[in-house]
Every structure is written in structure tokens, then in C-alpha cells.
Structure 1
Amino acid sequence: MSAFVLALVVGALFALGTFLLLRRDLIRVVWGLAIVSQAANVYLLAMGGIELGGFETVPVLAGHGEGVPETTDPVVQALVLTAIVIGFGMTAFALVLSYRVYEEHDTLDASELGDRE
């Protein structure tokens, strides 16, 4: 059941992000890009393995003997954490660029910006 919910959430996030990317307003395009990047992060976490059930904290290097419970892959979690930070910086930069476009052209409509020479 939980795999179905994760697949539904990832699909909904990708659909919403794609819908926003196809809008004419630059702010909605920036939000769409941010949502698509977060959907990719949720997808990576889901594929990295989520341990449902016990909330035991197990060190990654616990030992090599039997009886050590399996842990989720820490490399995927580090990758997603890095992607979140980079995505935040990218979104902030895109919003600043959108603000500069609005200051220069007095519009955020992409079709109006494309018609100007």
C-alpha cells in the first residue's frame, strides 16, 4: 500500500510541476521547476528504500555480524539533501531573474516578452 501512495505522490508532483511549467507567467514556471525538482527528490528517496515499521537508529557501520538490521542507503539521502540545497539556490536565483525581467519590461507574461524586440 505504501509503494502505491509514494507512486501516486510522485506522479501528482510531476503532473503539477509540468502543468506549471507550461504556463505563460514566469513565476509559475519557476514554481513548476521547483516542484519537478522536489518530485525527483521524492522519487530518489522512494527508490533508495524507506524502512517502514521500526524507528530504530542503527549506525551505518554497526558491524559485520548477524543480527544487524538493514538500514536505508545513506548515499541516496546525502544526494537528496545536496539536491535540496542546490534546488533552493536555483529557485532563489530564478526568482531574482524574474524580478529583474519585471523591472525591465513591466510584465512577466512569456508571450509578451517573446514579441518584444
Structure 2
Amino acid sequence: MELIVAATVGVLTSAGIYLILRLRTFPVILGMAMLSYAVNVFLFSTGRLATGMPPVLDHHAKHVDPSLYTDPLPQALVLTAIVISFGMTAVLVLISLGAFLEAKHDKIDISDEEADA
């Protein structure tokens, strides 16, 4: 299970970095979203990967080892990060849409404007 999660974080991170370097606005937005997904999966995995176990200790269930429970704090952090990343993605889409409508293309120009003059 840990190998699958680690590979998923690695693939999401590498795909996000690749898309950010594409010099077009839409792939940059997708790359930022993939990087935020990679961070969310990483944060979620820090709370221990235990399937079928509740995140909160139950004092009535005395037969379950307390070391098998998952930590609820990373789950709360991931929920907060999902909401924040959704809002930031919406802001980035609106900014890139405004830039597209103004410039009539979505290419990111990184050349020095002073050298062009």
C-alpha cells in the first residue's frame, strides 16, 4: 500500500512540474492542480495508512490495538487544503481567461520586454 501511495505522489508531482513548464496557461493551471493533489495525498498518508480503521479512538472497543488507529489531524488538513486549492484554481482560471481574452492567445511570453524595444 505504501509503495502505491509513494508512486502516486511521485507521478502526480512529476506530471505537475512537467505541465507547469509548458508555457501555456491551461497546462500551468492543470500542473498546479496536480501538485496540490500530490501534496494532499502526501499529507493524507502521513496519518498512517490503515484500512478499515476509524480515525478516532473508541474506548468501548477494548479488543482493538490503539496503534492501528489513524491520525485525524492530516485528514482535517487535507479537507482544508482541498477547499483552498479549489478556490485558488478558480482564481487562476479567471486570471488566465482574462489574459486570454486580452491577448487573444494563451502563450506565456517570458522574453525580456526591454530587449524587444
Taking structure 2 as the reference length, what is the TM-score of the superposition? Answer: 0.84
1:88 equivalenced with 2:99 (yes/no): no
Q: Report the alpha carbon displacement of residue 43 of structure 1 after superposing the two structures with TM.
A: 0.8
User: How far apart, in 2, do the equivalents of 1:51 and 1:89 lie?
Assistant: 30
Residue in structure 2 matched with residue 17 of structure 1 by the alignment:
16
Taking structure 1 as the reference length, what is the TM-score of the superposition? Answer: 0.84
The correspondence for 2:58, drawn from 49, 59, 62, is 62
What 5-or-longer segments of structure 1 have no aligned partner? none
Aligned length: 113
User: How far apart, in 2, do the equivalents of 1:89 and 1:98 lie?
Assistant: 14
Report the AA paired with residue 95 of structure 1: V
User: How far apart, in 2, do the equivalents of 1:113 and 1:60 lie?
Assistant: 54
Residue in structure 1 matched with residue 40 of structure 2 by the alignment:
41
Residue in structure 2 matched with residue 107 of structure 1 by the alignment:
105
Report the AA paired with residue 100 of structure 2: Y
Identity across the alignment (%): 37
Runs of at least 4 residues of structure 1 off by over 6 A? none
Aligned 8 A contact 1:21 1:30 in 2: yes
Alignment root-mean-square deviation, CA: 2.4
